[in-house]
Structure 1
Amino acid sequence: MVGIAERSERWPEAYIKLTDKDSDSVRTSESDERYRFQCVISSKMACCLSSLHSEVRAFLDLYNSYLKLKIHNKNLKALPLPALALRTLEAFEITSYHIALSSFPIIKKPCVFLQNLMIRGLSNCGLHADLLHVYIKCRLSGCPSDDFTFPFLIKACSSLSDLRIGREIHCVIFRTGYHQNLVIQTALVDFYAKKGEMLTARLLFDQIPLADLVSCNTLMAGYSFNGLDQEALETFRRILTVGLKPNVSTFSSVIPVCTRLGHFCFGKSLHGFTIKSGYLFDDFLVPALISMYAGDLDLSTARKLFDSLLEKNASVWNAMISAYTQSKKFFEAFEIFRQMIRAEMQPDLVTFVSIIPSCENYCSFQCGESLTACVIKNGLGNQPSVLTALLSMYAKLGNIDSAKFLFDQIPNRNLLCWNAMMSAYVRNRFWDASLAVFRQMQFAGLNPDAVSIISVLSGCSKLDDVLLGKSAHAFSLRKGIVSNLDVLNALLMFYSDGGQFSYAFTLFHRMSTRSSVSWNTLISRCVQNGAVEEAVILLQRMQKEGVELDMVTLISFLPNLNKNGNIKQGMVIHGYAIKTGCVADVTFLNALITMYCNCGSTNDGRLCLLLFQMGDKREISLWNAIISVYVQTNKAKQAVAFFTELLGAGLEPDNVTVLSIISAGVLINSLNLTHSLMAFVIRKGLDKHVAVSNALMDSYVRCGNISMARKLFGSLIYKDAFSWSVMINGYGLYGDGEAALELFKQMQLSGVRPNEITYLGVLSACSHAGLVEQSKMVFKSMVEHGISQKMEHYACMVDLLGRTGHLNEAFIFVKKLPCKPSVSILESLLGACRIHGNVELGEIISGMLFEMDPENPGSYVMLHNIYASAGRWEDAYRVRSCMKRSRLKKVPGFSLVGD
């Protein structure tokens, strides 16, 4: 914001530079503002000097003693008042303001001069609250104010964001007749603009009879600060119209406006204007110009402008880092940051807020830790904005514990910090924890905003917490947040994910404005839930309302079509794409291939292969799509053949390609293929991707080489939750429950937080090893870590209790389930009844299974075997006869042996 510094900084010079000798030679001249101020202040000094009482002398003496000026009291009387003023201001400059504050209360009736002296010193030190206390004391003691006092008071109110006191001072200004002073009018415009009261600011500006450049700059900066870019541009045109010459402050305000409005041609014209005016290498203008060229995606010009500066300040470095980050050039952004460090330029708060997104999107976990150490080294470890950025970085890197630790270190958490923590939990699928943070935020007295509600709705959607989700909807209605389009889209997703399409459609029809996201959300959720006809109706209505079907709409529709005879709708979309020319898009072709694969209409891969041949063979994503199709259809050899052809075409596979081909190796149980892929991954440097290393570990586990999986696990520099889960699950598959539990303990000590998959692997390992007590402890710890227990976790516990012969306990456990038990859980318990010969409980469980799935032959076979083991042949014959009448036949199992 442009303040009043351009004009008011000339006032203190009258206090400092005026001496007794100077006051005799000062002449009144209306054409010279400097002499006019000196004459006014000189007369006030004369009055103050004649009425200076003992308390003022003692106060100034205390200053001189502190500064060790070695002036005795007898000399103090002879010392001129302007010289004392100079010593007093010097005391403020060496941050001895606490001496002034502790001594000022002894003065019963301070004069105007001393009041202004104190106010100026406190303002320079940033002690705005103390400044207002001094002013209130002076006002209560009957001390008047002048045109030097009020600009500093207004500045203090602006810094403290205190609109009420600012308005009261405005009233005092009006009553005392200073409301027509140009400096004070400009200060008031600046104050109201910073508080978002632009109507009041504009009204005050219009009352200025002859607005100068400072006043116009202040209004234009106010419009820019409040996002009123068109009004800011109109103010700039007014500056040119009335014949005022723009200065650095003018250009530094109007260039960002051009960037936000996309008026890059006009911005480039302003760049030429600055060169002509001689402002090219100004420290305020260069960052604004770099940001403008970055917004126009002209990073080369921005870099040339950056390199042309011989001496760069922190704002110039920050602008270049931010330009690369916003353009997703994360490597270049980090290189600029390294150059900044090598140039011995100290990074500031803006630097770290700009560079941290580069680290989270490009670099590894180790770079993030190095950046955290750099933040602490530069003394910014207590800044909420930096800590919030680091929190988001660790959340994106999957280290939720480090993110939580940083969140706990933030001293005064604002709404942005709470939202970042909620988003971190949502990103890492800790839905319960995100809702817990939301409740803590409410207890802390903060009102949720749109971002908070969106995070809450995401958690409610995943946890099927309909009541809390509807409460969030009601809260958004009460607070007026529901008018936010992003919140409405989140509500659409919440209701449609929960299968409550009546609520979703009601909300959709009541929306006054719908974005493409609104349509795409409802259409994709309809398809996901099998309501394909409703999705087609929405597509037709979308066209009738004149909303163009974009690529996102088509792509969101296609992959969600399944094998329920929806291929006709997919073919309709395919035909529409051909008609509109969208079929040439590689992303759409990928979605189309996936759709035909999901619908089971690959025709031995011929249709998908035809679509593949239509696309651009240079696009690696197209190869990834066709390889993924063959992997999903269990045609691993064809997938490997395509991978070989890809390499023969000279294309470089990415991590997605490698992940698909590793899955193909698992399908054919080929240890040799896994070894080859391991060598390929290391040679191409793809082992840096933790997802690729995790897939290789999983492949070694499934192919029977647990020792190689363990070596690969030990070589990983960074291990995420899935890395630990793969090894724990591997030990469980090999029946080594003790090793799985030991690895689980190491995972907790390393700071990586277990997720649902991790606990499932630990429980499965305990089940295979028969570790009952340990399994119960692990199962109970899930609640302590904020992880909801799913049906799979209950199934592991039932299987363990059944394997170890605790059949009654297992049955009690099943009856206490919060939801209806699945068929697999009951089949597991029925199998345990067969092993341990519990006929009575087996009959109860089989009855429940016949009611839930009467056409499942496996339940009949297990009951038959229970009767046969107990020697009850008549009952066994009755079960087999029932199977014959129902024409049920058990499909025999088989297994394959890999190479």
Structure 2
Amino acid sequence: MRLCSSARDLADARRIHAGIVRAGLGSDKRVVDQLIQMYGSVGSAADARAVFEGFAAASTEPPDAFLWTAIITAFSRNGDPIAARAMFDRMPEPKHPVPTNAMLAAYAKNALLEDLSQFFSWMRDRSIFTWNTILAAYAGSLAIEAMELVFTKIPERNVISWNTIVTAYAEARDPRRAKNAFDTTPERSIVSWNAIAEAFAVNSDTDAAIQAFDRMPQHNRVSWTATFLARADHRPLEEIKHLFDRIPVREPGTWTVIVVRCSKSSQPTAALELLDRMPQWNIVSLNAALHSRSMGDLESAMAMFSQLPERDSITWNVMLNAFARLGFLDRARETFDRMPQWHLACFNSLCHGLLGSDPRSIKEIFDSSPEHNVVSATTMIVAYAQTGHLGEAEALFDSMPQRTVVTWNAMITAYARNSCLRDAKVAFDRMPQWSVVSWSSIVGALAKNTRVGEAKAAFDAMAERNAAAWNTMIAAYAQSSQLESAMALFDAMKLEGIQPDANTFTVVLGGCAAAGAVAEVWRNWALLAEFGVAAIREHYSCAVDVLGRAGMLEESEEVLAAMPFVPDDVALGTLLGACWTQSDVRRGESVGGLVLEMEQHSPSRYVLLANLLATETVDRTVDVL
């Protein structure tokens, strides 16, 4: 018996069958029953029939109800309800209720609702199993009215009946009726609790799903997995990681979700550590780990990519994205050319990676794509806008059969970038719906054209504001030299509970630096730690700038030396300009030497250094250059 249940495939099943025959057990009725079930489970209804017919022909006893049930079920699970019905019709009268219910289940499993209804009407002996079978069939097909009608007619419902309708309402995206059914359930099992938690989860009511989980008298593997998946995309990562550690037995999908979440949350180290702990890898988790490595260590990602036993289109696209994102466009194009199969996403990734370069290169990739979608067309609009080809952007936008809110935002930004404020406002007014980004785009467009008052009116009209929207308006004030208004808006942002991000502090510190407000720079710098924001290169450049403007060159140089990054052309150029303003030739020479050592720097730095040296009337300019 145990041998039959261990068969992995048809070849394995036939090997087991041959061994049973050699042992002289092939005519035992219970063994025959197990053989029929075994062949049904490995996908061979033909072998199941051969066993059944062989027994019927050789045995002096007719097949019993168990054998008829086994053969009907074998045909059913292999998608052949017609053959199952033929076997049922061969069964002698009176029909036994067990194979009769198996035939009803065959119609249910194969979603033949009309045949199911007729067969159910013919049945006279109806048990709770019979009622639950037809109830589940209608529920599984989301035939809600028919399900409810059957439910009202069940003489005596059990917990399975109630669980069925709760699950059906959940799958029909009707959590209200699911909760009503759950609350009415006279007896609740762990399945009942899992069903209502799932109902809330699939309808994105994460808080209610969590409350249901917390109220459960006990939890099983399904409960843990369901609550984990419900929270995975909606709760803070640390909470998700804590919950993951509490799960007693973790499903493969649970491991994959936590690896992917860490990867998406820019925690590559955590993603890779979890991957090492996974009992079994799959292509999804490997792709997530590859993405994590590509975010932090491109060489490591390349090594991992070369060693992967299996690659799919996403694997290739991860590497393509990594090369494009980091500016290795030749490597991105080489990866694109090596891909065994191209699909739209890889064309879109390459086009997006090329943004900022010659639009003709992007157009070449765009034109070579076998198809275009709204993503590829929107990317092309952005490419045109960045290089001043507004007419081409407009023509492509007008030709698009379908536009998303992202497409409209891209076109508004294109108009704003090219100082076409009127066209930007017309496009904004034409949008079928507005997102936070849409409002931010029009606020930015108005601010760019020095219409700060109108920008603030648009900002105030926003129904919802995220950090990016606040950043846009703060930047509008800062860039128009209205530092007091910018700081007041920054304070209002904090009071509304919006978490400032790195971009917020770049805008705030930049505005303070431009106004020469040294004290304001340091006051806001102290807030970085308070809000858990790590100082980035741009923040240090702002500090270098404001100290230089204030004539505090030594302090400015100290900040430059303290940067946890290699100083870039912007920071060095800022200090060099301050040295020229303050006529500090010695310090300027030192900073200028660092500028000239850089592989890429602005030609204006040469001019600054030459002017600085000229103030000493020392004829050393040629030697330095």
- Bucket of the pairwise TM-score, normalised by the shorter protein: 0.5 to 0.7
Aligned mate of 2:221, from 140, 145, 149: 145
Report if the CA contact (8 A) 1:111-1:143 is conserved: no
SS, match of residue 284 in structure 1: helix
Cα distance in 2 for residues equivalent to 1:134 and 1:390 = 43
Q: Match for residue 392 of structure 2?
A: 332
User: Which amino acid in the other structure matches residue 314 of structure 2?
Assistant: S
Cα distance in 2 for residues equivalent to 1:227 and 1:477 = 23
User: Which amino acid in the other structure matches residue 523 of structure 2?
Assistant: S
TM-aligned CA deviation for residue 480 of structure 1? 8.2
Q: Match for residue 240 of structure 2?
A: 166
Q: Match for residue 192 of structure 1?
A: 262
TM-aligned CA deviation for residue 210 of structure 1? 4.2
Deviations 1:348-392 (A, max 9, x none): 3x32443333111115111110121133x2x2x2x3233223222
Q: Aligned ranges for residues 257-336 of structure 1 at < 5 Å?
A: 257-274=322-339, 276-277=340-341, 280=342, 282-294=343-355, 297=357, 299-308=359-368, 312-326=372-386, 329-336=389-396
User: Which amino acid in the other structure matches residue 136 of structure 1?
Assistant: D
User: Which amino acid in the other structure matches residue 355 of structure 1?
Assistant: M
Distance 1:77 1:188, change over 3 A: farther
Cα distance in 1 for residues equivalent to 2:561 and 2:152 = 87
User: Which amino acid in the other structure matches residue 71 of structure 1?
Assistant: L
What TM-score do you get using the length of structure 1 for normalisation? 0.49
TM-aligned CA deviation for residue 25 of structure 1? 9.6
Cα distance in 2 for residues equivalent to 1:261 and 1:468 = 34
TM-aligned CA deviation for residue 537 of structure 1? 4.0
Distance 1:354 1:64, change over 3 A: closer
Aligned mate of 1:211, from 271, 281, 306: 281
User: Which amino acid in the other structure matches residue 348 of structure 2?
Assistant: P
Q: Match for residue 95 of structure 1?
A: 173
TM-aligned CA deviation for residue 231 of structure 1? 4.2
User: Which amino acid in the other structure matches residue 307 of structure 2?
Assistant: R
Distance 1:439 1:539, change over 3 A: same
Cα distance in 1 for residues equivalent to 2:617 and 2:611 = 14
Distance 1:466 1:550, change over 3 A: closer
Cα distance in 1 for residues equivalent to 2:489 and 2:227 = 40
User: Which amino acid in the other structure matches residue 393 of structure 2?
Assistant: A
Aligned mate of 2:427, from 371, 376, 387: 371
TM-aligned CA deviation for residue 538 of structure 1? 1.6
Report if the CA contact (8 A) 1:154-1:188 is conserved: no
Distance 1:72 1:483, change over 3 A: closer
SS, match of residue 429 in structure 1: coil
Does residue 488 in structure 1 map to residue 528 in structure 2?
no
Aligned mate of 2:593, from 530, 536, 543: 543
Q: Match for residue 523 of structure 1?
A: 576
Q: Match for residue 354 of structure 1?
A: 410
Report if the CA contact (8 A) 1:109-1:142 is conserved: no
Structure 1 gaps of 5+ residues are 1-22, 581-899
TM-aligned CA deviation for residue 100 of structure 1? 1.3
Distance 1:506 1:182, change over 3 A: closer
Deviations 1:64-99 (A, max 9, x none): 996466725564469999999887666456532322
TM-aligned CA deviation for residue 157 of structure 1? 1.8
Distance 1:567 1:479, change over 3 A: same
Q: How many residues were matched structurally?
A: 508
Q: Match for residue 182 of structure 1?
A: 252
Deviations 1:89-116 (A, max 9, x none): 6645653232213432344654454455
Report if the CA contact (8 A) 1:97-1:121 is conserved: yes
Q: Match for residue 247 of structure 1?
A: 312
Bigger CA drift: 104-113 or 183-192? 104-113
Q: Match for residue 4 of structure 2?
A: none
Cα distance in 2 for residues equivalent to 1:83 and 1:229 = 55
TM-aligned CA deviation for residue 232 of structure 1? 3.8
Cα distance in 1 for residues equivalent to 2:439 and 2:607 = 37
Q: Match for residue 456 of structure 2?
A: 404
Q: Match for residue 183 of structure 2?
A: 105
What TM-score do you get using the length of structure 2 for normalisation? 0.68
SS, match of residue 572 in structure 2: helix
Cα distance in 2 for residues equivalent to 1:545 and 1:287 = 37
Aligned mate of 1:134, from 209, 212, 235: 212
Report if the CA contact (8 A) 1:524-1:556 is conserved: yes
Distance 1:92 1:481, change over 3 A: closer
TM-aligned CA deviation for residue 212 of structure 1? 2.7
Distance 1:291 1:135, change over 3 A: same
TM-aligned CA deviation for residue 211 of structure 1? 2.0
Sequence identity percentage = 16
C-alpha RMSD of the superposition: 4.5
Aligned mate of 2:496, from 429, 440, 444: 444
Cα distance in 2 for residues equivalent to 1:185 and 1:223 = 18
SS, match of residue 406 in structure 1: helix
Deviations 1:210-243 (A, max 9, x none): 423232123224445x55544443432232xx2x
Q: Match for residue 731 of structure 1?
A: none
Aligned mate of 1:236, from 300, 305, 324: 305
Q: Match for residue 732 of structure 1?
A: none
TM-aligned CA deviation for residue 410 of structure 1? 3.4
Cα distance in 1 for residues equivalent to 2:492 and 2:276 = 47
Cα distance in 2 for residues equivalent to 1:97 and 1:444 = 32
TM-aligned CA deviation for residue 129 of structure 1? 3.0
Distance 1:547 1:269, change over 3 A: closer
TM-aligned CA deviation for residue 493 of structure 1? 1.8
Q: Match for residue 26 of structure 2?
A: none
Cα distance in 1 for residues equivalent to 2:204 and 2:533 = 36
Does residue 388 in structure 1 map to residue 443 in structure 2?
no
Structure of higher CA gyration radius: 1
Q: Match for residue 124 of structure 2?
A: none
Cα distance in 2 for residues equivalent to 1:96 and 1:453 = 44
Q: Match for residue 421 of structure 1?
A: 473
Cα distance in 2 for residues equivalent to 1:426 and 1:210 = 53
Distance 1:64 1:155, change over 3 A: closer
Cα distance in 1 for residues equivalent to 2:219 and 2:502 = 48
Q: Aligned ranges for residues 853-872 of structure 1 at < 5 Å?
A: none
Distance 1:559 1:413, change over 3 A: farther
Report if the CA contact (8 A) 2:477-2:483 is conserved: yes
